[in-house]
A and B are shown apart, each in its own frame.
Chain A
Amino acid sequence: MRDGARHLYVHLPFCASRCGYCDFVTVVGHADLHQAYVDALLGELAFEQHLLAPELESIYLGGGTPTLTAPAELERLLAALPPAHEVTVEANPETVTPSLAALLSRNGVDRVSIGAQSFNTALLDVLDRRARPDDVRLAMQRLRDAGIDNRSLDLIYGIPGQTPADLARDLDEALGLEPEHISAYELEAKPGTRFTHAHGAELLRQADELESYIEHVVERLTAAGYRWYETANFCRRSDRAGGRDLRTRHNLGYWLGHDYLGLGVGAVSTIENRRWRNAPSIHRYVAAHSRGARPDRELEVLSASDRATERVMLGLRLDEPLPLADLGDVVDGAALDRLAQGGLAVHREASVTLTPRGRLLGGGVTARLLA
């Protein structure tokens, strides 16, 4: 074991309702399980503590809707977690009350990611989102009032029925709230989901138009002083943020290929050449804990070339150069030259950086770069 993982993920699956497009492990209802689940999380942490570095760079509480967890349990969990340089909690706007903001703040949370998705009520309905645009505005204000000054907004674009004008309005609304960070995702309609069943035809009809949406997003946000540091992620440029680097340290850990430990149902950990995913059933997760056992998990052994492949796949999503030195022979030099000639990549010394167009075509570029 090297120094241990410096990134910790904790999964809190509870949701008030399930959104049609969501494919995360979530649990609706079961308020009775919150206490047992937090117990089980802490039990798993005790089992895996030895895998963590003495000093953590980041903790990320994702979901589900972590802020829907009973406040007492959420507080008990946060208090029990080791300290870290960045502690993020995901929140749905309507859950951010003044008391929740205060709870987070006093327990070391310094970053909150708000699932805004859109400021258009009709489109929010399409997504099954409960929060209204005013909830987002209030949440942002309450977090700042509680002293949390690293606030991220999640936006979704490419919603069935969304016009380019709708998208422009959403971006303007989001920018008006001056978030430190914005994540903007194109809606992924997963085959077989209720959502795709209902909206697949409309998405297909819109397909050509949707291609240009990511360009609008990048143009608008970069023009407003945000750094497009990852395919779907933007943060206020440091020269407009008092010199702060507002990129998420936690997610950067994934994109830079760092080790991470994940706790909770469906959580994934990657430590050196081993990756495991906890089973998704909350009942079995809790039951394993009560037996004093580790949760069920699925193990995957990663070869050196798997990890190198992932480094390329993830590293090319960033705006910073990807060093080629540690990647062995997974990168096809001839393909790199062709991509450079085509204006999609810049090959400088021992690194490769994608151009803006290269980043928009990052999937195809990556597939060609890998030998």
Chain B
Amino acid sequence: MSNKIIEGLFYAKSDEWLKIEDGIGTIGISDYAQDQLGDIVYVESIEKGKKLKQGESFTTIESVKAVSDMNAPVSGEIIEVNEKIVDDTSLLNQDPYGEGWIAKIEIDNEDEVKNLMNSKEYSEYRKE
């Protein structure tokens, strides 16, 4: 079972990761999540400009045998969407923390990360 975890990122219970740089958050799904889903075939289109609350679902990720809702790890507005993953969904499986990033969000309130886990906590949470 694949379960790579990157330090310095925040993780949500629903297996999304968040990287913060200058008030902008990059969001994706964790290695555990992509492994559970299996070969990902489709990501529902995401609206740029959509305002989200922490925990709110904003897209679905579909594999052959499963579908997963993706939830906003923090509140904010979607400012950028990764176009590459639309055509090549395998990026989500092969490089979930890098090329397989999903969206960038302008964060409302960085304090909300207290509701997320750090890499150590997430590692405990998703221990085999």
A, B co-complexed:
no
